[in-house]
Amino acid sequence: MAEQWPSYVDAGQPNDPVFVGVGEIPSGRYPDRNFIGDLTKVAILALKDAGMAPKDVDTILLIPNLHGFADQADLVFSRMVEELGLNRHAKASLMIHSGGSTSDNAVRSAAGLITAGHAKTVLVLHCERWGSANLAEMVTALSKNGIPQEWEQVTGLQFNAVGGLITQRYMHDTGSTAEEMASVCVTLRKWARLNPNAMFKDKDLTVEQILASKMISDPLHALECPPLADGAVAFVMTSAENARKRGLTESVRIAGSGGCVSHYSIGQETNLSVLGWPLAAERAYAQSGWGPEDADLAQVYDSYAAVTTIAMEGLGLCPKGEGARWFAAGNGDPGGKLPVNTNGGLLSAGHTGVGGGTALLVEGVRQLLHRAEQPRQVEGCRRAIIGGTGGTYMDAQVLLLERVEG
């Protein structure tokens, strides 16, 4: 397998794509905020973080929202070019979409454009208004994502039930208890309490509270289901050469990337407690030349606890079948063996639709740039593993990131 997946672009090559800045505003319920206003805000924050102005950007890459078509159309038809004053200056404004893993594919797309010389600096933007949207409408919309209309929508399947099916099989195969599953959510909440942008930054969470909450889709309790949130994030990628020319002394490069699309509908996944992670991880590690033991933190998609434990196991970050118990022992906590989802993840920072994974990625880049607030900053971290998925967990996407200095 390894020879099929050659090394990523060598470190230090002029066109090696690097992350140079991130921007984010708080997630939660913010009915008074505005979609385009939020996008503009995070764009400017990310550019400032990169020491740049809008004119330094030649390509805008948009991550979709799921709250409505009208706002989507604004993005598809280049509204952000005008909002940022880039009329005639921008070469391209385009949208990438693969559900929850969009951020990983946006990174690959931006990286490809930069490496091939099609773009010099790419600004990636996302905003979601789920927290302020009509909940019933969002539930219905979400019940169509990755669920084939003729074969599975007719059964009444929806997203929490997909999470329930995966969790049920994971608990069966690993012997994980309800307490152990709930402990994953508790770890995420501990991180969220340290993140000023997290939806639940002010609220503690215990295993007892989770297990006492209403059953939503067995074995998932209400407090184990992701809270829909408003939120916006942005990041800037450019070439290593451009970063050097601009005097940027720290950046984040991609050491490897791997992916696996294992199915479309949950009814066709043949290994519900494994999914595509082992294959995606093998492909990514073959490119990077380093492995799970070298990571200083992990940012792994967490719409449900089992989604994360399955990914952590497939990525080799904890022993096979032991993911939930690994979290229950505090290994992923602040101060633990391997910090996981230091922003609080989707489950505690807020599920911002396609942007839940983008927020995880942005936090990983922020950590590697050593720009997270204390005491959340993982001291001296150099390598992060980003794991993305979404929908019916049809794909597993892995980005291996590392800090570059000088």
Partner 1 sequence: MANSPIIQGFRDGLAAGDLLLQKCNSCQQLNMYPRYACPHCQSDDLGWQKAAGTGTLMSVTVLRAGGPEGFEQEIPYALGIVKLDEGVQLLGRMAPDEDGEWASYACDQRVTFQPARDKTYANFGHAE
> Closer to partner 1 at the Cβ: 73 or 139?
139
Under the binding rule (CB under 8 A), the answer on residue 69 touching partner 1 is: no
Centre a 10 Å sphere on the Cβ of residue 405 and count the other Cβ atoms it contains: 8
Given the complex with partner 1, which of 83 and 173 has the nearer CB atom? 173
DSSP 2: G
Among 2, 53, 73, 154, binds partner 1 (CB under 8 A): 154
Strand, coil or helix: what is 101? coil
Task: Return the residues of window 188-227 that contact partner 1 according to CB under 8 A.
Answer: 214-220, 222
Interface pick for partner 1 out of 125, 184, 266, 340 (rule CB under 8 A): 266
Among 29, 97, 169, 370, binds partner 1 (CB under 8 A): 169
Q: Does 157 interact with partner 1 (rule: CB under 8 A)? A: yes
Q: Which stretch binds partner 1 (CB under 8 A): 60-68, 143-151, 191-199, 321-329?
A: 143-151
Smallest distance, Å, CB 306 to partner 1? Answer: 11
Binding-site member from 34, 134, 155, 177 for partner 1 (CB under 8 A): 155
Q: Of 49, 56, 58, 152, which one interacts with partner 1 (CB under 8 A)?
A: 152
Residues touching partner 1, count (CB under 8 A)? 40
In terms of phi and psi (left: phi > 0; alpha: psi -120 to 50; beta: otherwise), the region of 344 is left
Stretch (H or E) spanning 295: none
C-alpha 157/C-alpha 311 separation (Å) is: 23
Q: Which of 158, 183, 352, 389 binds partner 1 (CB under 8 A)?
A: 158
CB of 227 or CB of 258, closer to partner 1:
227
Q: Where are the alpha helices (DSSP H) in 64-158?
A: 69-76, 79-83, 102-115, 135-142
Amino acid at the residue 340? V
Helices assigned H by DSSP within 266-394: 277-288, 305-314, 323-328, 345-349, 355-368
Query: Which residues contact residue 134 at a Cβ distance below 8 angstroms, ignoring those fewer than 6 apart?
Result: none
Q: How far is the CB of 307 from partner 1 (least distance, A)?
A: 14
Q: Please, what is the angle between helix 305-314 and helix 277-288, to 10°?
A: 50
Choose, by CB under 8 A, the member of 3, 10, 32, 150 that binds partner 1. 150
> In this complex, which beta carbon is closest to partner 1, that of residue 206 or of residue 265?
265
User: Which member of 121, 143, 187, 303 binds partner 1 (CB under 8 A)?
Assistant: 143
Residue span 98-137 as binding mask against partner 1, x where in contact by CB under 8 A, dash where not: --------------------------------------x-
User: CA-CA distance, 231 to 128, in Å (whole number)?
Assistant: 5
Which residues ranging from 298 to 327 are in contact with partner 1 (CB under 8 A)?
none
Phi, psi at residue 233, to the nearest 5°? -140, 160
DSSP β-bridge partners for residue 297: 384
Which residues contact residue 195 at a Cβ distance below 8 angstroms, ignoring those fewer than 6 apart? 201, 342, 343, 344, 349, 363, 373, 376
For residue 122, give the 3-state DSSP assignment: strand
Residue ranges in contact with partner 1 by CB under 8 A: 136, 139-140, 143, 148-158, 160-161, 164-169, 172-173, 214-220, 222, 265-270, 272
